[in-house]
Amino acid sequence: MNATYTAASGSGSKILINGAGKIDTSIMRLVGIPDINFNTSTTSAWGNNRMRVAMVLDNTGSMASDGKMPAMQTAAKSLIDQLSAIAKNPGDMYISVVPFAKDVNFGTSYANQTYMDWSDWDAKAGGTCSNTNYTTKQSCQDAGRTWTAAQTPDHSKWTGCVTDRAQDYDTKNTIPTAANASTRVVPEEYVSGSTKYCKTGSSSYLQPIVPLSYDWSTLKTSITNMQPTGNTNQGIGLAWGWLTLGTGAPFSAPAKDTANYTYKEAIVLLSDGLNTQNRWYSSASQIDARQKILCDNAKASNITIYTVQVNTGGDPTSTVLQYCASGADKFFEVKQANQTLSVFNSIGQSLAKLRIAK
């Protein structure tokens, strides 16, 4: 037997094991076969698998209780350390961070992109219809009438919140384009009382999405700045987590070197409660139904999904989080906040397993 080692290159490291020998026979020697020769070989390869991981993290108001927010922050930053340690070269590991509540914070730098859909925002500026029987922009235009805005809508007041995209694009990672209105990104001002939930650059608001990066410090700073606020919409977090993994707009993840590497993509979703509100519904069952479609689509695209329910308040075990996980071993229920770290460590170990190529 001999082994040949090929050092790491663009396509990873390999060990080729060749073996040869013979087996002594007892019965078969009676018919003239005293022994059987054999030759075999096997190759194991590693280092040719690159990973892209979206961390989708619950920033809702209920995360303020039972130490859930600081426990999640510690665990999420530990996972970044764990995953970054297995990245030997730039591009081996990319991570994105997607904080979510009812909305996500898209970031105001995208305000002038042609794929932004300002129709709902502009409608709230008020106006009149050419037929006064219609009092909203939507009903006016649906009736084929002309809507005249009362004032010029002010997009500069937008602080970064976006809500769910039009159905069925709320369950897909289709690139948003101006040509297809249903794919567009929908800004809104997510307000409760005097509180605006999205605002770039302040730790007291829902933090902006951080696209795929290997700037570990920037990723961890975003997590440090998280604060609990707003209602629960796991689906929008998952949808935008999946979008961060795409190579097209809006985040334009780096192109994949598929000639030399294989790629594994994963989403790690943590949430502490049941869904409560999205763009259309305030019913958990209806929101869950949309989320299940989304999870089916993502898993069909070879996205591995890990889900974590931080259940310190005795809620029912989340059926939608169980459903979305890519197998029973990828769903975790945490009963105490301080268990979050060990769960994330387990997820990190799962992601870090070397893939056997041959």
Report whether 347 contacts 306 (CB < 8 A).
yes
Q: Is the pLDDT of residue 142 over 50?
A: yes
* Tokens of residue 176, six digits: 């948003």
Which of 4-13, 73-82, 91-100, 266-275 is least confident?
4-13
- Comparison of pLDDT for 31 and 296, the residue scoring more: 296
Give a yes or no: residue 357 inside a domain: no
| 251/321 same-domain check | yes
| 98/64 same-domain check | yes
| 347/328 same-domain check | yes
Give a yes or no: residue 242 inside a domain: yes
CA distances from 247 to 24, 114, 258, 299 (A): 58, 18, 13, 18
Q: How many CB atoms lie within 10 A of CB 217?
A: 9
| 138/251 same-domain check | no
| 315/171 same-domain check | yes
| 319/242 same-domain check | yes
Residue 130's domain spans which residues?
119-152
What is the pLDDT, as a whole number, of residue 223? 97
Q: Is the pLDDT of residue 252 over 60?
A: yes
| 199/318 same-domain check | yes
How confident is residue 182, by pLDDT bands cut at 50, 70 and 90? very high
Q: Is the pLDDT of residue 221 over 90?
A: yes
What is the pLDDT, as a whole number, of residue 37? 61
Q: What is the dihedral of CA 72, 264, 239, 176, to 10 degrees?
A: 140
**Sign of the CA dihedral 218, 98, 250, 203?**
negative
Percentage with pLDDT > 70 across the chain: 83
Listing DSSP states for 212-280 in one string gives EE--HHHHHHHHHT----S---HHHHHHHHHHHTSSSTTT-PPPP-TTT-EEEEEEEEEESS-----SS
| 261/295 same-domain check | yes
Q: How many CB atoms lie within 10 A of CB 18?
A: 13
Main-chain dihedrals φ then ψ at residue 223, nearest 5 degrees: -70, -40
Report whether 338 contacts 67 (CB < 8 A).
yes
Main-chain dihedrals φ then ψ at residue 167, nearest 5 degrees: -70, 140
Q: Is the pLDDT of residue 13 over 70?
A: no
Region 198-205: mean pLDDT is 70
CA angle in degrees (0–180, nearest 5) for 228-233-236: 110
- The pTM (predicted TM-score) of the whole model is 0.83
DSSP 312: -
Q: Is the pLDDT of residue 59 over 90?
A: yes
222-233 pLDDT tens trace:
999 999 999 999
Listing DSSP states for 4-40 in one string gives EEE---TT-EEEEEEEEEEEE-SSGGGGT--EEEEEE
How confident is residue 148, by pLDDT bands cut at 50, 70 and 90? confident
DSSP 271: E
CA distance 68 to 311: 9
Give a yes or no: residue 220 inside a domain: yes
Report the mean per-residue pLDDT for the chain. 87
CATH number at residue 271: 3.40.50.410
How confident is residue 355, by pLDDT bands cut at 50, 70 and 90? very low
What is the pLDDT, as a whole number, of residue 343? 98
Report whether 208 contacts 240 (CB < 8 A).
no
Per the structure, the count of domains in the chain is 3
Give a yes or no: residue 247 inside a domain: yes
